Structure 1
Amino acid sequence: MTILDKIIKAKKEEVAHQKTVVDLEMLKEIPGFNRECNSLKANLLKGGSSGIIAEFKQKSPSKGDINLSAKVEEITKAYVEAGAAGLSVLTESKFFGGSQSNLVKARETNPDIPILRKDFMIDSYQLVEAKAYGADVILLIAACLEKKQAEMLAKEAKNLGLEVLMEIHNAEELEKVNDFVDIVGVNNRNLKTFEVDVETSVKLAKLIPEHFVKISESGLAGPKEIHYLRENGFSGFLIGETFMKTENPGKTCMKFIKKL
């Protein structure tokens, strides 16, 4: 069983439990559910945009503990002040140390910035959850979903007013990208070996239809990679560990964006 298999197994159990604690109707009564979402796509395409989607991430299966003492309110506020085009907040708890409360706090602290709920989305219940707790964008990971399931979830997300980021790792997964997707993200990390190669983005960029906004994820350590990826058609760059592993992630983000 791969790490991805373990994560999905745990996620199915978690979602089943959550449904017994907070049902759909309860979620829809949360004020955030009726909120109009901020557009990450528009922010990335805006003239002068940094393109940086700054992530709040405290641990990961590949790196272990990254920054367990970090406060989501402080760091996401600093990211916004640094000029980030959007935020990404981990809500997967078991493997990444994320939480729904971090998403809620990030939204309360930063009402006008687009926020991506970073999680393993396998059930339409999670989409309602995402909207209710303050997300503007949801992540669909092609490697975790069948083609029909990916399309169904993307369509339902759009019906809720959410934007959809579809993450791919290879050319085969491109067939799961559908008309309800707004942004295609290329993850430069190989899910089997966990090795990271920015050339993965460059190779796949040529295969992604032009009308999709393209973002690159993982292994983006400096402005050099950002400029290279921009030249190859990318508008967004999801960065977490590069910022989060430092003593002051917000300050690191600001220095990074200034160098761009």
Structure 2
Amino acid sequence: MKDILSEIIAHKKVEIASQKDAVSLQHLRGQAAIVLHEGTTPCRSMKSALAASATGIIAEFKRRSPSKGWINESARSEEIPVAYEAGGASALSILTDERFFGGSLRDIRTARPLVNIPILRKDFIIDEYQLLQARIVGADAVLLIAACLTPEQCNDLTLLAHELGLEVLLEIHSPSELSYINKEIDMVGVNNRNLGSFTTDVENSFRIAGQLREATNGTEFPLLVSESGISSPATLHNLRAAGFHGFLIGETFMKTASPGDALKEFIKVSDRL
């Protein structure tokens, strides 16, 4: 079976090297320092937004995926994120990988001044360079995927993200990745999609939540986010009962003619459960 994650990471390394040739790491550090000093783009806490929200939905802006192809090729980042916020989203996830997901950093830069809820830069982050990019364009949080990193790399990138004022959503998929979780991690996301084959199984969230609870003995239990494969309000209701406070949902909304209205209806049905 083709390992999609390995293909993505191999391309990401080439992509970052090319970007560094065009704009040096040192120059990007300087730009990020200006953003931090001026304070014109204050970061919003995604963790706090999810903890305080009645819905906890992280609505995702995604044009395509490696497994499904184009989902919404003409999706506009000046429209859908605004509609998501109006529809009741607690936060936004914006895909910035271009080759495999049809996104770009421009999508965050476009959406940032138009919405007031936190924005997660969702990408395959393996380098400080990408954290600097995220802060400069106005992201509030970044996704770190355990399957892409060693525990040491994950810890180093988490600390760098915090220095930039960014929160970290650590994504795990299997019990073997529970060791990546430490007190520095802001949120833990359980991906219901296998990143090698891209098949989806929501039961993975329930399994991992139970194992995490056992591993921590109920102490210092992180804020949990269930990612991918959530297509019904009933599933969200059950996940909340299992201890999840965040629910990352993209394709369910993006495949419709009006993602914001689809989100609004989803929440309406969920409220009745």
TM-score (norm 2): 0.91
CA–CA distance in 1 between the matches of 2:45 and 2:226?
A: 18
The aligned amino acid for 2:90 is A
Amino acid at match of 1:19: K
What fraction of aligned residue pairs are identical, expressed as a percent? 51
> Do the aligned residues in 1 keep the contact of 2:63 with 2:103 (CA within 8 Å)?
yes
- Answer yes or no: is 1:88 the counterpart of 2:126: no
Shift of 1:213: 0.4
- Letter aligned with residue 44 of structure 2: N
Name 1:67's counterpart in structure 2: 72
Name the amino acid aligned to 2:95: L
Q: Do residues 179 (structure 1) and 183 (structure 2) align? A: yes
Q: Is 1:57 matched with 2:62?
A: yes
Q: Distance in 2 between matches of 1:60 and 1:29?
A: 31
RMSD: 1.4
1:45 aligns to 2:45 (yes or no): no
Match of 1:15 in 2: 16
Instruction: State the 1:194 CA deviation.
Output: 2.4
Does the CA contact (< 8 Å) of 1:32 and 1:133 recur in 2? no
The alpha-carbon deviation at position 25 of structure 1 amounts to 4.5
Q: For residues 194 and 138 of structure 1, what CA distance do their matches in structure 2 show? A: 21
Question: Which of 208, 211, 232 does residue 207 from structure 1 map onto?
Answer: 211
The secondary structure found in structure 2 opposite 1:116 is: strand
Cα distance, 1:108 vs structure 2: 2.0
1:184–1:215 CA contact under 8 A, matched in 2:
yes
The separation in 1 between residues aligned to 2:182 and 2:124, in whole angstroms, is: 18
Residue among 141, 149, 156 paired with 1:152: 156
Distance in 2 between the 1:152 and 1:179 partners?
13
CA distances 1:48-92 after superposition (whole Å, capped 9, x unpaired): 531000000000001111000111111000000111000000000
Distance 1:201 1:24 in 2: 37
SS in structure 2 opposite 1:138?
strand
Give the superposition deviation at 1:5: 0.9
- Residue equivalent to 1:236: 246
SS class of match (2:142)? strand
| Distance in 2 of aligned mates of 1:247 and 1:6 | 31
Amino acid across the alignment from 2:68:
K
The answer on whether the counterparts of 2:209 and 2:242 sit within 8 Å (CA) in structure 1 is: yes
Distance of 2:49 and 2:108 partners within structure 1:
19
Deviation of residue 199 (structure 1)? 1.1
Unpaired runs of 5+ residues, structure 1, are none
Shift of 1:106: 1.3
Distance in 1, Cα, partners of 2:164 & 2:210 = 31
Q: Contact 1:75–1:250 (CA<8 Å) still a contact in 2?
A: yes
CA offsets 1:134-179 (integer angstroms, 9 cap, x no match): 1100000000101111111011111111100000110001111222
TM (norm. structure 1) is: 0.95
Taking a change above 3 Å as real, the CA distance of residues 96 and 142 of structure 1, as seen in their structure-2 partners, is: same
Distance 1:11 1:54 in 2: 24
* Contact 1:32/1:134 (8 A) holds in 2: no
Matched position secondary structure for 1:238: strand
1:6 aligns with 2:16: no
**Residues of 2 paired with 1:181 and 1:193: CA distance?**
27
SS at match of 2:79: helix
Matched, 1:129 2:133: yes
| Counterpart mapping for 1:85-124 below 5 A | 85-110=90-115, 112-124=116-128
SS at match of 2:244: coil
1:169–1:190: 8 Å Cα contact kept in structure 2? yes
CA distance in 2, matches of 1:53, 1:32: 25
Question: In structure 1, what is the equivalent of residue 262 of structure 2?
Answer: 252
Whether the 8 Å CA contact 2:3–2:197 is kept in 1: the answer is: no
